[in-house]
């Protein structure tokens, strides 16, 4: 059983609810679950053409959507950070004493074998146990 479980969630995918159910099963009494959304802001030359207020508004909207998604779940804390998904999940887990990560993963395609999916990066580099849930077709 785990005391501090992280459940990374994409706001546009449904597997997060299943991952939260698995996290509840793995949670020790008195433990906490954190649902984490990584907001990937535009980078490079694209960012040069965007107004900073629009970038901040998009982040605020993501944060509000995440908080709304877990509002009726008193056993889940919402967190939204900005960054690259794979690296940010690992960094968050390391800096927040996470002892288990529960995340969903789609069936890998050829692109994932060549570049690596977010789930694969987390499994390779996480400082704790990782449970990966496959989506069903």
- Provide the phi-psi class of 44: left if phi over 0, else alpha when psi is between -120 and 50, else beta: left
Q: Are 22 and 3 in contact (CB under 8 A)?
A: no
pLDDT at 55: 84
pLDDT at 110: 54
Q: What is the mean pLDDT of residues 118-136?
A: 88
CATH superfamily, domain 2-134, is HUPs (3.40.50.620)
pLDDT at 43: 73
CA distance 132 to 120: 9
pLDDT at 115: 44
pLDDT at 112: 52
**pLDDT of residue 102 exceeding 90:** yes
φ, ψ of residue 128 to 5 degrees: the values are -150, -175
Which residues, 6+ apart, have CB-to-CB distance to 44 below 8 Å? none
pTM: 0.87
Q: What is the mean pLDDT of residues 33-51?
A: 82
Domain ranges of the chain: 2-134
Query: Angle at Cα 87 formed by Cα 30 and Cα 16, nearest 5°?
Result: 50
Q: Mean pLDDT over all residues of the chain?
A: 87
Q: Are 130 and 122 in contact (CB under 8 A)?
A: yes
**pLDDT of residue 66 exceeding 90:** yes
């Amino acid at each position: 059983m785990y005391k501090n479980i992280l459940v990374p969630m994409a706001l546009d995918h449904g597997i997060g609810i299943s991952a939260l159910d698995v996290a509840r099963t793995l949670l020790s009494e008195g433990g906490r679950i954190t649902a984490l959304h990584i907001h990937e802001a535009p980078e490079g030359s694209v960012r040069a053409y965007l107004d900073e207020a629009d970038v901040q508004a998009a982040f605020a909207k993501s944060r509000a959507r995440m908080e709304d998604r877990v509002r009726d779940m008193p056993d889940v804390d919402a967190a939204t950070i900005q960054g690259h998904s794979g690296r940010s999940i690992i960094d968050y887990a390391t800096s927040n004493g996470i002892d288990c990560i529960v995340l969903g993963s789609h069936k890998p395609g050829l692109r994932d074998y060549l570049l690596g999916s977010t789930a694969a990066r987390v499994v390779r580099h996480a400082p704790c146990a990782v449970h990966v849930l496959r989506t069903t077709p």
